[in-house]
Structure 1
């Protein structure tokens, strides 16, 4: 989901996929994330300012639905908040997880041209000594906004003391190559902390970005 985009990379290795375990009842959950920055595909979405992100999600069998909300700040947007609506289906075949879904990014109080969407396909595999994943995003044209495609690969390696090393590399077509590396540590069943180094090498005359992001998340 788009908001503390880096945080999802750190906490779940940029969507190595939702759990493939089939749900037999309707599960309701969510999380609250505090971060010093909001990163999406290597780019700050908050002008390097702190953000608070909340998410509510529903899971039934292999289907999931949810909404994520956060404060945002950009020179090109009037909006000071962002809401992302997502839905998908996740399962596992022969030990390989797959995740098919869509995300709609909405910016209240901005022109409709600012809103856009992605559909995605993710694959993941847990080798116990490491988890690997790959994901492709197909940009969906909305409100006359041309949206580029993107792909990314990720890995997560478990370390002593329940720490994980997480890394991601991706390409955002016509924008640049983005990356993140970091560590995640659960405090208990509800809280996690993470720190990551993230950035993007932009194509053409774009300005490259590099950031160190620290965050705390609480799940419920």
Structure 2
């Protein structure tokens, strides 16, 4: 479950669509691959603070339509066997004057060991390096316990991001997010909502990041594998290839 790949494909789609329509349609297909010492999603490790190898394939059309797929290894407890996450997504993005926008659908597919498939719909607006995105639970294959809402809207995540280009190829990014709802609590093994934040520096495919949450370490035992009260320092390298 990652968000950075969505931002990347959105920017590609916006850039292509901003060129306008021509006599011949324009489409772009790109592949991406990355390695990271820790797979962080919404402030929480998805690999019990271990390394991950990830990759994906993206398609963007000049109309603003885009679609893609992305995979990563995951591990939600120290004694888990190898598991994978396979995401499928599509959406439509564009730009009106200085304001960019993006709406889409994202499906998170896991193997039988993880067994927590779910999907979200999202909408984003951006202006001058700043963006705000809302993710809403659409549906899930997970079991629903009494008193829990796993239907549409049973979980939401709000993300605020701001990117500053220090010089060509070098970018500093700030992030703050809030995750809440019955499904979010069940998926994360937590009993209450939480906030997360991150600061990153990227240059030529390399990204250094520090992230954290407002959890105080007193969460239930199911969440201790995440070491939620610790700062997480992440180093990753990614490459994009135009096909």
Which structure: larger Rg?
A: 2
* Residue 127 (structure 2) aligned to one of 125, 128, 133: 125
Q: Is the aligned partner of 1:94 residue 2:97? A: yes
Question: Structure 1 CA distance, aligned partners of 2:9 and 2:213?
Answer: 21
Quote how far apart the aligned CAs of 1:111 are. 6.3
Alignment of structure 1 residues 16-95 onto 2, 5 Å: 17-19=10-12, 20=14, 21-22=16-17, 24-61=25-62, 62-75=64-77, 80-95=83-98
Superposition TM-score, scaled by structure 2 size: 0.76
Distance 1:200 1:78 in 2: 27
Alignment of 1:1-220 (within 5 A): 2-3=1-2, 5=3, 8=4, 17-19=10-12, 20=14, 21-22=16-17, 24-61=25-62, 62-75=64-77, 80-110=83-113, 112=115, 114-126=116-128, 131-143=129-141, 144=143, 146=150, 147-160=154-167, 162-173=169-180, 174-186=192-204, 192-202=205-215, 205-206=218-219, 207-220=228-241
Structure 1: which 5+ residue stretches go unaligned?
Answer: 187-191
Q: CA deviation at 1:30?
A: 1.5
Q: How far apart are the structure 1 equivalents of 2:48 and 2:100?
A: 35
How many residues were matched structurally? Answer: 203
More helix by share: 2
TM-score normalised by L of structure 1: 0.83
Which region of structure 1 is more displaced relative to structure 2, 167-176 or 69-78?
Answer: 69-78
Distance 1:134 1:165 in 2: 17
Greater shift in the superposed pair: 76-85 or 163-172: 76-85
Shift of 1:132: 0.6
- Indicate the SS of the match to 2:59: strand
- Contact residue 88 and residue 101 of structure 1 kept, 8 A: yes
| RCO higher in structure (CA 8 A, sep ≥6) | 1
Assess, with a 3 A threshold, how the Cα gap between structure 1 residues 122 and 116 changes in structure 2: closer, same or farther: same
CA RMSD of the aligned region, Å? 2.4
